[in-house]
Structure 1
Amino acid sequence: MAKKATFVVVMIAALCGWLGVGTSAASPPAVMGGGSGLILGNEALCTLTAIGHDGGGRLVGLTAGHCGEPGYEIVPERRQDVGVVGHMVGKSRELDYAVIEFDPAKVTPVNRIGPVTITSVGSPASFPDVVCKQGLRTGNTCGVVWGDLMRTNETWTQMCVIQGDSGSPVVRGTTLVGMVNAYLGVACIGPELGTDIDVILADLNAHGGVGAGFRPI
């Protein structure tokens, strides 16, 4: 993992955006799913990877770990009128993913945002598969898969991503295979780099607690 951390620091542009926002009084529940925009800690902009339930029946979601820290409040980017709908409750710095626990009274979970639908989770994509993502900033983009070029449980693709797309679900058809974490070099020109979803789920299950046993809606 040390090799991976060095590579990330030297070569990768992280993909969360930043801004200051306010929240307001409660409103009807926000519809949220993989591809929904998130405001974390009143300043970071990222994207929800998937939403579902863990083994304890809690409503939880995933996003990129560099988007915030445990305790950060979560506000839907497109439904800021709803206010805080959950909190980041844990993260992995090594695998760059985070777990969000949502308030089920404030969120209506769905498996489709835009043209991306998630019906299952699966093994990583490989060349010459084509995968797609739904992100806060660049919406729906697709690209060829290059594979796990560094043998680090991360898959490189040619999808267009920019800041704010961190956490976006990467799908092969309707199967969730990864999350967007970064790009190399220049946005939408250099390859996208993302963590494989099977590795994330295995890590969640190994550590237990909130998020363990996660299954998407």
Structure 2
Amino acid sequence: MFATGRIGIRVLVAAALTVLATVGFPGSATAADQRAALGGGSGIVLGGQSACTLTTIGFDRDDRMVGLTAGHCAELGMSVKAERMPQAGIIGTVAAVDHHDDYAVIEFDRGKVHPIRQVSSTLIGGIGAPPREGDVVCKNGRTSGFNCGVVWDTHRWWFQNQVCSRPGDSGGPVTIGDRLVGMNIGHIGVKVLDVTVFDIVCQHPGAPIHDPAVASQIGMVLDDINQSGVIGTGFKPL
């Protein structure tokens, strides 16, 4: 037998409330639990079919939460979902696309996205100066993950570098330290005996042959967005 008086009932009720507070009611997850954590290097799905990588996330001059990815991944108005949290549903929409310069701007739903600065080994603390030949840059992509390589040559809008880049890595951040310097947009596509060289490079980073990855200069991308006045103008990373 156990106490059933007022004191006993109070003790039992308090204990029950403590258990419920710890375990939670079924389906009672908070709104924060349902938000998708996204940052530079996160996998995203555009239009329900194209899997690419988020370059970075932050806010524009009008305090909208926005992010960037490669333009060839997107079309204007496409829905965006988080690859690793599909249960969050549609978390954003492609708000601007430039297929010529290969970038896209995504406007995110604040109620569905929790922006983060670090994904895996990539921490984005700000925008960096364009890389120079011989610099070592690092890329983070949803397909091949985090890896680094030397910069072979640079141009006004883009640079070639020796990182592993596979389909789905498009849009991935390219960094030096914690500075974002580029947006990965693909690789040259060199073939030897009908074998695409990037397959060899990704499996054997020390291979003497290489298939350079190509990245856009992030400063040029942001300047172009600012000049166009579209959503994303005045972007600053988180």
Q: TM-score scaled by structure 1?
A: 0.85
Q: Percent identity?
A: 43
Q: Report the 3-state secondary structure (helix = DSSP H, G, I; strand = E; otherwise coil) of the residue aligned with 1:62.
A: strand
1:176 pairs with 180, 184, 197, which one?
Answer: 180
Structure 2 spans left out of the alignment, 5+ residues: 1-30, 191-196, 202-209
CA distance in 2: counterparts of 1:158 and 1:88, whole angstroms: 30
- Structure 2 counterparts to residues 125-204 of structure 1, below 5 A: 125-148=131-154, 151-184=155-188, 185=190, 186-187=197-198, 188=201, 189-204=210-225
Q: Report the 3-state secondary structure (helix = DSSP H, G, I; strand = E; otherwise coil) of the residue aligned with 2:149.
A: strand
Decide which structure has greater helix share. 2
Residue 153 of structure 1: how far off its partner (Å)? 1.3
Q: What amino acid sits opposite 2:228 in the alignment?
A: H
- Give the match for residue 5 of structure 2: none
- Give the match for residue 95 of structure 1: 101
Higher relative contact order (CA 8 A, sep 6+): 1
Decide which structure has greater strand share. 1
Q: What amino acid sits opposite 1:107 in the alignment?
A: V
Residue 209 of structure 1: how far off its partner (Å)? 2.4
CA distance in 2: counterparts of 1:125 and 1:209, whole angstroms: 27
1:52 pairs with 32, 52, 58, which one?
Answer: 58
Q: TM-score scaled by structure 2?
A: 0.78
CA distance in 2: counterparts of 1:45 and 1:152, whole angstroms: 28
CA distance in 2: counterparts of 1:162 and 1:174, whole angstroms: 23
When Rg is computed on C-alpha atoms for both structures, the one with the higher figure is 2
Residue 134 of structure 1: how far off its partner (Å)? 1.0
Q: Report the 3-state secondary structure (helix = DSSP H, G, I; strand = E; otherwise coil) of the residue aligned with 1:45.
A: strand
Number of residue pairs aligned between Structure 1 and Structure 2: 190
Give the alignment's Cα RMSD to 1 decimal.
1.2
Counterpart contact for 1:125–1:147, Cα < 8 Å: no
Q: Report the 3-state secondary structure (helix = DSSP H, G, I; strand = E; otherwise coil) of the residue aligned with 1:38.
A: strand
Counterpart contact for 1:155–1:196, Cα < 8 Å: yes
- Give the match for residue 235 of structure 2: 214
- Structure 2 counterparts to residues 15-164 of structure 1, below 5 A: 28-148=34-154, 151-164=155-168
